[in-house]
Amino acid sequence: MHRRRWALLAIPAALAVALTACGSQPGQLDSDEDGITTVRITSTQSLNTALPALLVEGDFAKQFGLDFERVDIAGSGSSNQMAAILSGDADIAGAGSNTVVDAYLGGADIQIIAGDGDLIQSLVVSNNAIERFGVDVDADPRDRVRALRGMKIGAGPTGSAGNSSLRVVLNDAGLDPDRDVTLVPLADTGSAVAAGLEGGTFDATWSPVGSGEVAVARGNAATLISVPAGEAPALDGYVCNVIFAPTRFIEQNPEVVDRIREALAEATRMTKEEPEAAGRILKNSIYSGMDQSVFDLAWSEAVQGYHVGNQFTPEDWNSFVDIFDDYSEHEYAAVDYEDLVNPVARGQS
């Protein structure tokens, strides 16, 4: 049986960095009498963190001498997962690379140990908005985005990977995110999304695949853009989802980190070679309450976005800088890639 812990955190990344001074510090992990090492990992109900969920809920981790203990997070935002790491409630976490990089620049002593894949995000528009704004859902992707002019769009909070990436997509289509549309912060990027679309709170939503798709499956909305399906060219080369850990944890547990990466590689292999089996694991655990038709729709999109190899290469970093440097208050181009990204994620362990 997989054990679970709760980390009821809802802390912005900037504030979370302050926790490094008071949070419990990670140490060297010990194995039990069977040679199994327990690793605490954050988990959320988002397909952006499907690989960590597979580590916890799958039955393959023990072949790598690992038992992943799930640390539940209140909300799916990356800042909450950052707070869990910096407060010492988790050993490793999966989060958006934007949040990880910004926390690093804010002084958090962390490193990326794996790159998991694309932003598993979609742009969903209500049928009502499609009719009112004359949206052609079969147009070129950039033309579809241009049709958002004047809409209210539910999206993650400012500074999140979701919000930052949406701004890039809007700019690429010639829209000013602060003038041509109204961005409405989503406190919950899960269950509230479909209700907001169907009730008219939002005309469109930019949220993890599987949330807006609830309204799509009910016939009340349409998916306008799917990032994992390659319909957001402005985000080409963007490795959004990464696994990270405190630098001290990595230094004290190098062999464990290598095994964590091996387990991640197995989880990724399953999404590519056994997508139905991987999907069943997720559906029967963290998505047990989701309608099967909605899950099938979301999973068929999501599996396209996970990256075999689980690396975050210099090319990946250069793409990140090219995409986001002009939109951030930080100078990403000045970041020391080799300090931010541990050698295990560069394929140099």
Look up residue 281 and give its two tokens: 């694991």
Q: Is pLDDT of 136 > 90?
A: yes
Answer for the pair 188, 155: CB distance below 8 angstroms, yes or no. Answer: no
pLDDT of residue 343: 96
pLDDT, tens digit, 9 for 90 and up, residues 168-211: 999 999 999 999 999 998 877 777 899 999 999 999 999 999 99
pLDDT of residue 91: 97
Look up residue 309 and give its two tokens: 């190899």
pLDDT, tens digit, 9 for 90 and up, residues 258-274: 999 999 999 999 999 99
Answer for the pair 47, 287: CB distance below 8 angstroms, yes or no. Answer: no
Mean pLDDT of the chain: 90
Integer CA distances (angstroms), 264 to 6, 7, 52, 125, 345, in order: 23, 23, 8, 34, 12
Alpha helices in the chain (DSSP H): 13-16, 50-57, 78-86, 97-105, 127-133, 141-146, 161-172, 191-199, 213-217, 247-252, 254-273, 275-283, 292-302, 314-324, 337-340
Answer for the pair 332, 320: CB distance below 8 angstroms, yes or no. Answer: yes
Q: Comparing 9 with 271, which gets the higher pLDDT? A: 271
> If DSSP states are collapsed to H, E and C, what string results for 167-179?
HHHHHHCCCCCCC
Residue type, 88: G
The architecture CATH gives domain 4-118+239-345: 3-Layer(aba) Sandwich (3.40)
Look up residue 308 and give its two tokens: 């075999």
Q: Is pLDDT of 12 > 70?
A: no
Domain locations along the chain: 4-118+239-345, 121-235
The CA angle 321-311-246, to the nearest 5 degrees, is 85
Same topology, domains 4-118+239-345 and 121-235? Answer is: yes
* Angstrom distance (rounded) from CA 194 to CA 8: 24
Please provide residue 292's backbone torsions phi and psi, each rounded to the nearest 5 degrees.
-60, -40
Integer CA distances (angstroms), 272 to 51, 226, 262, 275, 280, in order: 12, 18, 16, 6, 14
Look up residue 87 and give its two tokens: 């407060």
Provide, rounded to the nearest whole percent, the portion of the chain with pLDDT above 90: 77
Look up residue 93 and give its two tokens: 């976490």
Q: Is the pTM of this model over 0.85?
A: yes
pLDDT, tens digit, 9 for 90 and up, residues 77-133: 677 788 889 999 999 999 999 999 999 999 999 999 999 999 999 999 999 999 999
* CATH class given for the domain over 121-235: alpha beta
In which band, very low, low, confident or very high, does the pLDDT at 74 lie, cut at 50, 70 and 90? low
Look up residue 131 and give its two tokens: 């009719």
Please provide residue 50's backbone torsions phi and psi, each rounded to the nearest 5 degrees.
-65, -35
pLDDT of residue 26: 58
Answer for the pair 72, 6: CB distance below 8 angstroms, yes or no. Answer: yes
